[in-house]
Each structure stands twice: as structure tokens, then as C-alpha cells.
Chain A
């Protein structure tokens, strides 16, 4: 009997869409019962959202003041205690899940299946390695608890017409004081969130300066898109680090991805391989991005972008 506990990601007031994608992944395991765990100072609003997710049987909350912020060392022992009656514990492969889930796995004495991209059975999954250059089938031991993170770009969000019961839980877990949350600096932006946006415009090193990225912002704002970037553009200081798309940044699956001045290194491409339509604009016709682009345009971005922004 497969019983899956999904660790909800949230900001204290609303649920991150990554949680609904974990539910879809878990639903791919035949006969699984799916519960969602919300750790928060005040779980009410997030729990109510989680209870609506299709496929969820029960939402469990653990409310403590220490859970006001997602500190892995504080959450992990509580998750371990809450997971006692479950066969599987899933979290999203976002920076939240990547931080806390391996800590949970280690406390349980098991390894973790990272970045599930397909379910082949209750203990058999596909996951990408080498920046997506290979897909490996992994088999986790059946006798042990299974801890995994879900590659959210591989899944659609679960629908919102469920009505699961919500239950408060108190667990006996020792909460460490050695790790203290200080603050988080969130880039203020009216643009859509990069990880969930339907459209993304992304810039590479060829933008050549922070100021020139205004061309990318202008196009993004015209079509209501989020803004992304390559590692090279971030390293060069043209744009903030949370916009990085790829192996070591965000893995995204928008309907439309417009790659501007991006050559198409494998480390970047692994972050966009699930995009619906990829448009590439690059002056180098040999750029590898054209091998994966659905629509390619060889041209100078400094003339193409303004023209595109004006006429779209």
C-alpha cells in the first residue's frame, strides 16, 4: 500500500505551484494515497489551498512559530516524525525542496531520488543526469522509505476541485536553534513568476550589458512574459541570479520561450527542454540553439528586438 506525504512549499500565505505539480507526479503511482503536509506558523490559508488539489486525501498541518520561515534544519525533524506512517515522502525540486528533502532522507537513513521526471512504478522512476544529457531509470529499495524530489517542469499542476479534510498534527521532534533565519531579499517585479509563466523571454551574454537587457524587458512586458537569463549573463552582472535558467538554475516549461542572444549550451538547454515552443534569435547561424528551436531567426538582436516588440 503506497502512502505518499507531499511537503507543501509556500511563503506563509499562499501555496507555491510546485506543490500541485508534486501531486500530479504522485498521482502517477497506481493506488497511492496522497496527503499534503503544511509546516507553517499559521497554516490556515495554505492548508485550504492544498485541500482543493485533486487527488489529495488529507491535509496535515504542523503549526509552530519556528515554522514561519522554511529553515531546513528546523523542518526536517518534524517531517521525519510526520512521515512515520508513510511509504513515500515527496517534495519539489525547487531550492526549497532541494534544501530540506536530502536532510529528511539522511535522518531516515535512506538516499533520495532527485528530480523525478517520470514514474514507472512505486519505486521506479526516470531522472535526468549530466545536465539532461542522459535519462536514467532508477530503482529504489522496496523495503525502505522512499524520499524524492519532483522535477516540476515535467508535470502539470493538479486540478483544483477537490475537498480534502484538514487535520492539525502535533509531533514530538527536537527543534534545533543552531540555524536562524535573518531575511530574504525578493526582487520586486510586476512581471510573471519565471517558474510558472506561460511566456518567457530570456537573454544571453550577447546582450553585452545591464542596460541592453532593457530590450528584453520591453519585449517581455509587451507580451506579458517573465524574464530569464543564461548563466553567462548572470555571471557578467547583467541581471539578478534568480533569473538563471538551466542545470544549476531554474528548470522551466513555458508555452513560449524566446531565447535572445543565447548560444544554447547543453547546461542551458536542459532548463527549457519541456518548453512548448522555442524561438531563437541569434546572429550566429551555427549557434546550437537553432538545433532545438521551433522557430529560428538569424539576425542582430539590437535591431530584431525593438522591431519585434513594436509589432507583436
Chain B
């Protein structure tokens, strides 16, 4: 295939302990480290490996957000993507609107495969990939742990609750990456320098004629209920005693 399109979302870094703002209006993101959504990094790694095997000629990374998302796209370019597209908006967008933006970019670029993360670790929605496949009218292979390409089809192993499921899909299609799909490569310094010269196109969302979806509004944020700290026991007999007290042994 000619092109693979990969989505990269800028999110609060995996290691940051996220806190709710004291007025309940949102979560604290000011001054917090931001990174590529980890599942999107896995998606990009898969696309790069497909290209390196000779099954694709170009990997395009797409992000939607403020100009700050350029950082994550530059990291994607340093990992090995060939060019980047940033659809710029100051608005917080819902998954269906994001899917519609992806579809618009698909219509322009005609990729043979779209790879996204299975969920973003900020909103934890796990919706955009499935929604994109639906409105595109194409197959979805979600929670993928292995992707084998064979001409116009792909065989994908999926991590499902029961175990590992295998499906065969016609291309083009949407694949969403699960943890075990691969291990993303580390970016090397010379690649960061090279990435600065790679093309990064900015498209204002207002130029794209995307129909907004009915949004679900977030009206209040609160910290989760805290579990009471329990007791510490010295040894196994004391542990068994404590379990017996609770009727659990």
C-alpha cells in the first residue's frame, strides 16, 4: 500500500498523578508534562514496522488540537514518520467530531490503513477508532496484538476478555493498537534533528467544513472516593486471623 495514517494525541504523561482542580472545573493540566498517548506510540511503531518491511511507502501522523501538539508530531517524525498534519483548534473536541476530521483527512490522503491507539489515557473513552471505521464504512480491528498484512486483506489478532480472537479484514481498514502489539522504539538525537526538516502541515479546523456532533458536556469533576487505609499485620497467622474476622477465611 502507499500510505498509512496514524493518529497521535497529546495527553498528560502516563507517569503524572492527575489531580482535580479545587473548584471542580476540571483536572490540573497547567505545567504538567505532556506526551504522545502511549497507545498511539504503539500504533505508530506498527506503521513504521510495516513500512520497513516494504509493505507501505509513507507513514503520515495526524494530530488534532492546539499548536502545542506540534511537539508530539515532531516526536512522531523523529520516530520515523514521513510527514505530519496538525488540524488546529482551541476547542476540546468529542470523539465523533475527531472521527469526522480523520475521515476528511482520509478522503484527501487515501491511506490503505489507519492505525490508532485503542484508547487515550486522558478521557479513557475508547471510541474514536470504532467511530471512524463506522462512518468510513470500513472494517475495524480493535485491541490488536498482532497484524499480518496479505495484499488487500489483513489478519488481526485481538485481545478480548476471553483470550485472543482472530479476524480477517479487507483493506482499507482501521486498526486500534493494544499494549502487546509491539514495543515502540526510542528516539535518537540525530533523528530529532532530522525531524525538524520533515514537513508538518497545519490545517485550521475552520477550513475543513466538519459537522460538529452533539457533544456530551462535562459539568463537574471530583476526586474518586478514597479507600480507608486498613491494618498492617506482622505475619501469616495474623493475616489469616484478620481474614477470618471478615468472614473471608
Nearest CB of chain A from residue B24's CB, rounded to whole Å:
9
The answer to whether A96 and B125 touch across the interface, beta carbons within 8 angstroms, is no
Interface 9-residue window, one of A37-45, A54-62, A108-116: A108-116
Nearest CB of chain A from residue B58's CB, rounded to whole Å:
24
Nearest CB of chain A from residue B244's CB, rounded to whole Å:
10
| The residue from A101, A141, A247, A311 contacting B237, defined by CB atoms under 8 A apart | A311
The answer to whether B217 and A294 touch across the interface, beta carbons within 8 angstroms, is no
Residue A15 at the B interface, CB < 8 A? no
How many A residues touch B, CB cutoff 8 Å? 88
| The residue from B18, B161, B230, B243 contacting A134, defined by CB atoms under 8 A apart | B18
Nearest CB of chain A from residue B219's CB, rounded to whole Å:
5
**Known interface pairs A71-B167, A139-B216, A139-B219. Does A195 touch B96 (Cβ–Cβ under 8 Å)?**
no
Q: What 0/1 pattern do residues 221 to 243 of B give for CB contact below 8 A with A?
A: 11111011111111111111011
Residue B214 at the A interface, CB < 8 A? yes
The answer to whether B230 and A112 touch across the interface, beta carbons within 8 angstroms, is no
Q: What 0/1 pattern do residues 42 to 63 of B give for CB contact below 8 A with A?
A: 0000000000000000000000
Give chain A residues whose Cβ lies under 8 Å from the Cβ of B240: 308, 311-312
Nearest CB of chain B from residue A115's CB, rounded to whole Å:
7
Which B193-249 residues sit within 8 Å CB-CB of chain A?
Answer: 213-225, 227-240, 242-243, 246, 248-249
The answer to whether B243 and A130 touch across the interface, beta carbons within 8 angstroms, is no
Interface 9-residue window, one of A28-36, A161-169, A174-182, A210-218: A174-182
The answer to whether B18 and A133 touch across the interface, beta carbons within 8 angstroms, is yes
By size class, the interface of chain B is 35 or more
Q: How far is the CA of A73 from the CA of B213 in the complex (A)?
A: 21
Give chain A residues whose Cβ lies under 8 Å from the Cβ of B139: 73, 176, 178-179
The answer to whether B229 and A256 touch across the interface, beta carbons within 8 angstroms, is no
**Known interface pairs A102-B126, A134-B20. Does A72 touch B140 (Cβ–Cβ under 8 Å)?**
yes
The answer to whether A294 and B239 touch across the interface, beta carbons within 8 angstroms, is no
**Known interface pairs A130-B12, A178-B170, A181-B167. Does A95 touch B159 (Cβ–Cβ under 8 Å)?**
yes
Give chain B residues whose Cβ lies under 8 Å from the Cβ of A250: 161
Nearest CB of chain B from residue A253's CB, rounded to whole Å:
13
| Nearest neighbor of B220 in chain A, beta-carbon distance | A137
| Nearest neighbor of B11 in chain A, beta-carbon distance | A130
| Count of chain A to chain B residue pairs whose CB atoms are closer than 8 Å in the complex | 260
| Nearest neighbor of A124 in chain B, beta-carbon distance | B219
Give chain B residues whose Cβ lies under 8 Å from the Cβ of A181: 165, 167
The answer to whether B224 and A128 touch across the interface, beta carbons within 8 angstroms, is yes
Q: What 0/1 pattern do residues 274 to 312 of A give for CB contact below 8 A with B?
A: 000111000000000011111111110000100110011
Q: How far is the CA of A293 from the CA of B246 in the complex (A)?
A: 14
Residue A240 at the B interface, CB < 8 A? yes
Q: How far is the CA of A189 from the CA of B70 in the complex (A)?
A: 48
30 residue pairs of the A-B complex, CB under 8 angstroms, read A104-B134, A106-B130, A111-B127, A114-B125, A115-B124, A129-B27, A129-B124, A133-B17, A133-B18, A134-B224, A135-B222, A138-B218, A141-B216, A176-B139, A178-B170, A179-B139, A179-B140, A179-B170, A184-B162, A185-B164, A231-B179, A241-B179, A242-B164, A248-B178, A256-B248, A266-B17, A277-B243, A279-B239, A295-B239, A304-B236
- Interface residues, chain A, CB within 8 Å of chain B? 11, 71-73, 76, 94-96, 98-107, 109-115, 124, 128-141, 143-144, 176, 178-187, 195, 199, 223, 231, 234-235, 240-242, 247-248, 250, 255-256, 266-267, 273, 277-279, 290-299, 304, 307-308, 311-312
